[in-house]
Amino acid sequence: MAHINDNFQKLPGSYLFTEIGRRVNAYSAAHPEKSIIRLGIGDVTLPLPKSVIEAMHKAVDEMAVKETFRGYGPEQGYAFLREAIAENDYKARGANIEPDEIFVSDGAKSDCSNIGDIFGIDNKVAVCDPVYPVYVDSNAMAGRAGDYVAELGRWSNLIYMPCTSDNGFVPELPAAKNEMGERIAPDMIYLCYPNNPMGMGITREELKKWVDYAIENESVILYDAAYEAYITEDLPHTIYEVAGAEKCAIEFRSFSKNAGFTGTRCGFAVVPKALKVRNGAGELVSLNGLWSRRQSTKMNGVPYIVQRGAEAVYSEEGKKETKALVDYYLENAGIIRQGLVEAGYTVYGGVNAPYVWLKVPEGMTSWEFFDMLLDKAGVVGTPGSGFGPCGEGYFRLTGFGSRENTVKAIERIKALNA
């Protein structure tokens, strides 16, 4: 008899964005005359850069001719793309990552989830709180998270690492040993910098502490650098800028937020050859070789046309165009930040990421703030509690909207406090 993976049924029913959609629809139905501005979205709004489009058109034409037609691609991704990534994203930053350590994929969301396939079910997982929900959900579906405890808004087997204004949104290192001296360090540690939802970065010194911790405790850091392109301060663009990271970290990257690939789909994971994890017999095994065997994007994963488009991101023209895209969203985030400060809010983020994380007024929950902002200003954001219990009391606005709507939304928010 076929039976399902019961872990899927443990996922809490209402997903954050479903609930937001429900409330916005109910409000629109009751107030059809009101104009609503959505600053809650994590999706980009500007079109793909011209250089990317031209490269994809050219690749389409190649597919129409017998001599240049391509069928299944290489399972790690085409060498032209992996070489461009290694050169521009790693070697140029002093990080010694080779093309055969890069695995092209259909995006960071898939990679962050699928990576769980090569880790045993009994690995202990640590996540930041608040956090991009995909790390939690994928581990819950795999059976690594235990049971969902609704009253706490937490999973019983996950280690939550609070990220609040008190610690600058960089968590404390988790305890490595208990009183008896036994190892209790997490085995898989998800870190994301610059992060979603808080929009905050991490310094090299802070990141080094995590790398040292992971090496000492035989943990693996799963480092999501999807927002790397948004860094404007002197912060690490990749975890491999930190010595030793190639022995303990996998990095996820994406063309979604720097080059508009959210609908086109392309990203990559870096699995260094030096990264080794123990098998059941206690022997150290290289994950690089194992990741070639992944099911997800093997053979029929990312189309040639899309990989040619991603390659164009690294052309001279592509670099200029993607910088212009990122600058546009960052300027929006700056407008949001500045406007909120003028309106008397405490704000974080928005300097090295497109996300602004504001403190909701004392005495209000983040959902109450959501309802108030929708009702009084017609502005939709994302309640911080949707990203984890420590997100309560915070609210996320994003720079991904149009300039016109961003300015209008901020004017409305400022008018509330006038």
What is the contact surface with ligand PLP in residues (CB under 6 A)? 42, 107-109, 132, 192, 196, 224, 226, 254, 256, 262, 267
Q: Report residue 324: phi and psi, to 5°.
A: -65, -40
In terms of CB distance, is 109 or 237 closer to ligand PLP? 109
Please give the Cα distance from 61 to 141 (Å, whole number): 41
Look-up of token digits 């974080």: 348
Tokens representing 359 are 């403190």
Is 40 within 8 Å of 380 (Cβ atoms)? Answer: yes
Look-up of token digits 């090299």: 204
* Exposed / middle / buried, residue 184 (Cβ in 10 Å: 0-12, 13-18, 19+): middle
CB of 252 to ligand PLP, least distance (A): 7
Rounded (to 5) percent helix, strand, coil in the chain: 40, 15, 45
Look-up of token digits 């789909």: 265
* Exposed / middle / buried, residue 233 (Cβ in 10 Å: 0-12, 13-18, 19+): exposed
In terms of CB distance, is 260 or 339 closer to ligand PLP? 260
CB of 2 to ligand PLP, least distance (A): 30
CA separation (Å) from 144 to 112, 178, 189? 14, 21, 13
Tokens representing 57 are 């058109």
In terms of CB distance, is 224 or 321 closer to ligand PLP? 224
Q: Give strand pairing partners of 229.
A: none
In terms of CB distance, is 107 or 378 closer to ligand PLP? 107
In terms of CB distance, is 51 or 398 closer to ligand PLP? 398
SS3 at position 366: helix
Is 162 within 8 Å of 129 (Cβ atoms)? Answer: yes
In terms of CB distance, is 42 or 120 closer to ligand PLP? 42
> H or E segment at 160?
strand 159-162
CB of 387 to ligand PLP, least distance (A): 10
CB of 349 to ligand PLP, least distance (A): 13
In terms of CB distance, is 86 or 310 closer to ligand PLP? 310
CB of 391 to ligand PLP, least distance (A): 14
CB of 270 to ligand PLP, least distance (A): 14
In terms of CB distance, is 107 or 381 closer to ligand PLP? 107
Q: Report residue 156: phi and psi, to 5°.
A: -65, -30
How far does CA 13 lie from the centroid of its chain?
22
Residue 275: name the closest of 289, 260, 286, 259 by CA: 286
Please give the Cα distance from 371 to 20 (Å, whole number): 10
In terms of CB distance, is 105 or 406 closer to ligand PLP? 105
Going by the DSSP 8-state scheme, the letter that residue 4 receives in this structure is: -
CB of 291 to ligand PLP, least distance (A): 17
CB of 181 to ligand PLP, least distance (A): 36
CB of 355 to ligand PLP, least distance (A): 8
